[in-house]
Chain A
Amino acid sequence: MKESQPSKFGLPSVSRRSFVKSVAGAGAGLALVQPTWVKAAQSKEQVNVALIGCGVQGTILLNWMLRIPGVRIKAICDIFEFNRVRASGLCRKANQGVADYMDYQEMLQNENLDAVVIATPDFVHAEMTNACLEAGLHVYCEKEMSNDIEKARSMVLTARKTGKLLQIGHQRRSNPFYQHAYRLTNEAKVFGAITHVNGQWNQAKPIDIGWPKRYELDEATLNKYGYETMGQLRNWRWFRKFAGGPMADLGSHQVDIFNWFLNAVPKSVYAIGSNARAIIQGREENASFTPECEDNVMCLYEWDTPEGVVRGFYQVILSSSHGGFWESFMGTQGSFVISEITTRNAMFREARAPKQDWESEAEKIEVGGAEAMNFDPLKSRKAQGKMDEVARQLEESLDKPVHQVHLENFFAAIRDGEKLTCPAEVGFETAVTVLKVNEALRTGKKVEFSPNEFKV
């Protein structure tokens, strides 16, 4: 590589020799092909969308929406200018000039939209969703539907009345890996009868995320939109008035999976939890407020299923990240662990259960000292007996961003009539499942669910 001839800089000069482009593949006769560009949407296919709420979650959704062909972001809306500046800047970088609004009603009056995506604090979801549905728009609303069960119910009713689509942001419902695991559990019955479920979301969080001083809203503006302080606006998840607590913020995603996979809603829940640790942490960090909602909740749920009672434990802890987030299902023939972070996924067969014909393909891994199998859907798909169709579906979407596939389901429902994976009724069942935990926490007693509570 080096040549001994020094250059005028007193450095070894670099030899330049041509490098064969294809190292091991196509050989010298490499032919370049013309690109086939992703289709630009025709006007009739284009879905004109606005984003209401451009904070952390809204930005995630915006980022992935910008990648979906045929989706045109027309407007963004947020009461906090800093969020509007960041969101409109992101759209501009993606060549999507957007109008920006502080007030969503003004936006509805001025813009010609097909759909809205709502990622505001939970307490305004119902008001905004109902107004947008009434205005003839399809709505994707982040979970939790609301921090109030009756408000969540009103959203289901408005969706029915208007005939517009209402997708709730439980994105695992569109995740091909979860859909695969559902089929393994419920159609192929790989794990036998499910008897127990477990799950957790442990995530250490700061108490007060602060705000850029130059964008601070005045008191009158804050009051107009229901807040007393900037601390409340920026940290709304810590306040009961705005949020449903950590079971609604995080637990909801996973308890939703329990209901889905068990094809049931729970019959009871016990819960313990408190905000004591968050209060201490807030003082240590000089937070501008005292947290109200719990920093940890532990729940015991029971479901009645055709195969018997299923019992489940779920915990959410905001002072420790240990163990991360996952769900596990234990059945009479085997168990599995599943997570949006797929490296955690593993499956286990009970020694007494018959060997599955696809096991020889599965990668053996060790989990907690015990032998397990990598829960690789492309290997375990054989268990479903419909390899071709399943393989095609999985390979097409397995590695897409988890929020993008849920948004794609929403837009495909608008354009092509695809079935929503998380319509309002499903979102409502989950909202009841998690918001009733707050009653259990408040009373310290077991809360019984009546089947009618889940119906609208």
Chain B
Amino acid sequence: MSDAAFANLTGEVVHRFDHRAMATTFTIYIFDEEHGYARQAARAAFDLIDDLEEQLSYFVPSSDVSQINRLKAGESVRVGPATLACIQTGLEVGRLTGGAFDLTVGALLSGRQPWDATPLGAELYQPRLGPVTVGMDLIAVNPELNAVAVLADNVEIDLGGIGKGYALDEAAQLLRDWGIARAMLSAGLSTMLPVGEPPAEGWRMRVIEPRNEKQVLAHFRTFDRAVSTSSWSPDQPHILDPTTGEPATHYLAAWSMAPSAAWADALSTAFLVMPPESIEALCRERPEVCGMLLSDQDGELSLAAFGSWQRLACELNDQSCEPAAEAGPTS
């Protein structure tokens, strides 16, 4: 764990702690707290994330996920609450997005690096050696027994699209138990989760061009909701479209906002392969969820926003428009 303290623009002391886990860098910013106490709380949160990695990782042979992935058709295994929660959330997001999120589709990628954060060469995308069976309806959950079953042979799950978000949710709860009044948690800057009392104006977030982080496309605010982004580039075909089994290439990037980081994490992955009409319908049905898509059509960037983010797009498309709408607290 590395740590640092600095003052932000308003003079508030910010303590920053970084930790590698799940093949990404988790960062915890704790505000207005004694540094030693902030460090102890952050360390406890990182220890928790490490414990979760042992249970959720595709790459740890003794993890729940690996044990599920060794099951044959009809077999089941008892798993821990964390794994069960991730799978249940994944199934729910899968249903809500019409199958755009699918925990079993990652198995199609061969030569993957741990989780999905490490760059993958395009040449690594190829149908995996050996048979793979894909489909969320091949996973069955029995919450009373804390058990997970697979309904066909060669089914594998990968929680890479949801586990980091879940880890942030659990870390946030631990920090609240430690009495941390205000913090911001991040998993590799792709998913962020505010904790505790937000600044009076909310957390001001920037939407950046994934290929050029200096280009700010829009601003938005969040008070207590998690935000997440997924992006595509030819060098990193790490997200597959469950409807085609091929890398998601429709949009440059997708953003999501949701009450939990697990949901935000999964939704940004799903949005990257969903038709805009479906995202709009989903955000209407679930007002606590927002979405955004960025596309590049022959060099022209286009940003579409959904739910309470709808006015955001004008920052990019029409610089003279009003500032972006704010997303208020969800409570």
Contacts and interface: CB of A to CB of B under 8 A. Distances in A.
Contacts of A399: 61-62, 66-67, 70
A38 B152 contact: no
A342 B108 CA distance: 26
Interface string A378-399: 0000000000000000000011
A25 B37 contact: no
A212 interface: yes
Nearest to A206: B43
B295 A33 contact: no
A36 B302 contact: no
B150 to A, nearest CB: 8
Interface residues of B, number: 75
Interface string A210-224: 111110000000000
A320 to B, nearest CB: 15
B133 A26 contact: yes
A285 interface: yes
B91 interface: no
A26 B152 contact: yes
A24 B131 contact: yes
Contact of B131 (A26, A93, A95, A400): A26
Interface in A67-112: 67-69, 82, 85-86, 90, 93-95
A9 B275 CA distance: 10
Nearest to A398: B61
Contacts of B47: 56
B138 interface: yes
Given A13-B276, A208-B40, A25 B153 contact: yes
A86 B132 CA distance: 38
Nearest to B279: A9
Interface string B67-97: 1001001111111110011000000000000
Interface stretch (A15-23, A45-53, A149-157, A444-452): A15-23
Contacts of B135: 21
Contacts of A66: 78, 80-81, 146
A412 to B, nearest CB: 16
Interface residues of A, number: 64
B20 interface: no
Contacts of A60: 51
Given A32-B137, A35-B140, A399-B61, A94 B127 contact: no
B290 to A, nearest CB: 14
Given A40-B145, A209-B40, A210-B37, A22 B133 contact: yes
A237 to B, nearest CB: 15
Contact of B130 (A24, A86, A95): A24
Given A11-B304, A26-B131, A67 B295 contact: no
A375 B13 CA distance: 51
Contact of B276 (A11, A59, A285): A11
B145 A38 contact: yes
Contacts of A20: 245
B131 A22 contact: yes
A360 interface: no
A40 B77 CA distance: 12
Interface in B222-242: 241-242
A370 interface: no
B250 A16 contact: no
Given A1-B246, A213-B179, 4 more contacts: A12-B251, A24-B128, A40-B144, A211-B40
